[in-house]
Structure 1
Amino acid sequence: MFWTIIIAGLFLAGLIFRQKFRSEDRQEEAGEDAGLAIVEFGRAFPEEAIRAVVTTRDRRTVFLRLHDGKAGCMQAHGHHYACHLIEPGTVRVSSAGPKRLAIQFANAAFEGGTYEFSDEKEAAEVSLWLLGSFMPGAANLNAQPAG
């Protein structure tokens, strides 16, 4: 009887550890690495050169700085990415905390939301990329002359 309880306990412990490792593998698959994001973005927009890449904390969204001042955004949906080239004037960025940005896209085909980054530096960098994709003259349309 004693050995039966020990064997059943070991079997149960094995099942628990197996389930734990499976859930960790699924989390890693959900957030693919930035290398795959670069390849997929290059496939979607072959004429755009990528200068820098920042991944969100959950590794499900990747923001890309492009060569001509534009920005790109990719969101993981399972094993696929939804790629978006951010055109000037089509994004609204606001702070949602020290490491978080609330981003809204004017193009309803791409989902906006609140994105959390590893640190404040990455959040600030992405916000500058996105602000750089604004039309330069759009900020001065409602400006009043000083004096």
Structure 2
Amino acid sequence: MLWTITIACLLLAGLIFRQSFRKRNEEIEMAGDAGLAILEFGRAFPGEAIRAVISTANGRTVFLRLHDGKAGCMNAHGHHYSCHLIEPGMVHVTGAGPKRLNVKFSNAAFEGGMFEFRDEKEAAEVSLWLLGSFMPGLAAQNPRIVGQPG
């Protein structure tokens, strides 16, 4: 009788251990998949062409650089993303350390917050995208603003 209870407890512990690792691996795959982020953003905004994608260090948020100087942001909520097209003049960005950005949106359509990136270069790149989204019309008129030879 004691051996039966011991074996049952070991099997139960093994199942719980396996499920926790499976769930953790699925969350990492969902959070770090840039291809899935591109597909989801394409569904939400089919008319926007994506030029570049950078995700945060934890993979829960993805920032997108769009073709016309605008930017987009996606936040993972489990297996779903909330997509946001950043309108000119609707974002306030401040640095909060070498790899962190504090982003606030003036409209309540998307939750802002503190975002940490893998390195300083990615944080700087995303801040330029967000700050460039203030006036995308000017970027389209003046090719030197977006770094193209003019």
Q: TM-score range by the shorter chain?
A: 0.7 to 0.9
Query: What is the alpha-carbon distance in structure 1 between the residues aligned to residue 104 and residue 124 of structure 2?
Result: 16
Alignment-derived partner of residue 86 in structure 1:
86
| TM-score, with length taken from structure 2 | 0.78
CA shift in 2, pair 1:22/1:112, >3 Å: same
| Structure 1 vs Structure 2 CA RMSD | 2.4
CA shift in 2, pair 1:30/1:38, >3 Å: closer
Query: What is the alpha-carbon distance in structure 2 between the residues aligned to residue 21 and residue 79 of structure 1?
Result: 17
Alignment-derived partner of residue 72 in structure 2:
72
Contact 2:100 2:123 in 1 (8 A): yes
Moved more, 127-136 or 34-43: 127-136
Contact 2:32 2:55 in 1 (8 A): no
Structure 1 residue runs of 5 or longer lacking an equivalent are: 137-147
For 1:110-125, list aligned pairs within 5 A: 110-125=110-125
Query: What is the alpha-carbon distance in structure 1 between the residues aligned to residue 45 and residue 19 of structure 2?
Result: 39
For 1:1-147, list aligned pairs within 5 A: 7=7, 11=11, 14-15=14-15, 17-28=17-28, 31-135=31-135
Moved more, 30-39 or 67-76: 30-39
Moved more, 64-73 or 77-86: 77-86
CA shift in 2, pair 1:68/1:19, >3 Å: same
Moved more, 5-14 or 49-58: 5-14
| Greater C-alpha radius of gyration | 1
Structure 2 residue runs of 5 or longer lacking an equivalent are: 137-150
AA partner of residue 124 (structure 2): A
How many residues are treated as equivalent by the alignment?
136
